[in-house]
Amino acid sequence: MSTLSTHVLDTSTGAPAAGLRVHLARSSPDGWDPIFETTTDPDGRASLGEVEPGTYRLGFETGEYGNSFYPFVHVVFVVDGRRPHYHVPLLLGAFGYTTYRGS
């Protein structure tokens, strides 16, 4: 098992995106199985618990956060189990976003 976390920053203000709803789902033959839901803390961070190897989707409810062209952002990634921790940051702006595998 590996742990999973995220960190969301608002690139238009340079501030953390506090209170943003985040959903975690795992890929299955029938689609996406919901696993976990949380909100980012005052620093824009969220811990999403432990995950087994597999394909996952993080859903960010960006439309609830503020003026965003994208009402939600889905990030799909693979956990191969070779690392003890996976970190998936999201840099969010009004008209774009960036994500990457963090450390």
CB 63 within 8 A of CB 71: yes
CATH of the domain at 76: 2.60.40.180
67, pLDDT greater than 80: no
Per-residue pLDDT, averaged over 78-92, amounts to 96
**pLDDT at residue 5 tops 90:** yes
Q: What is the pTM of this model?
A: 0.93
Domain residues for the domain of 46 are 2-99
> Quick one: pLDDT at residue 93?
92
Q: How far apart are CA 75 and CA 56, in angstroms?
A: 8
Q: How many domains does the chain have?
A: 1
Residue 42: pLDDT band with limits 50, 70, 90: very high
Q: 21-31: per-residue pLDDT in tens? A: 999 999 999 99
SS (HEC) of 53-77? CEEEEEEECHHHHCCCCCCCEEEEE
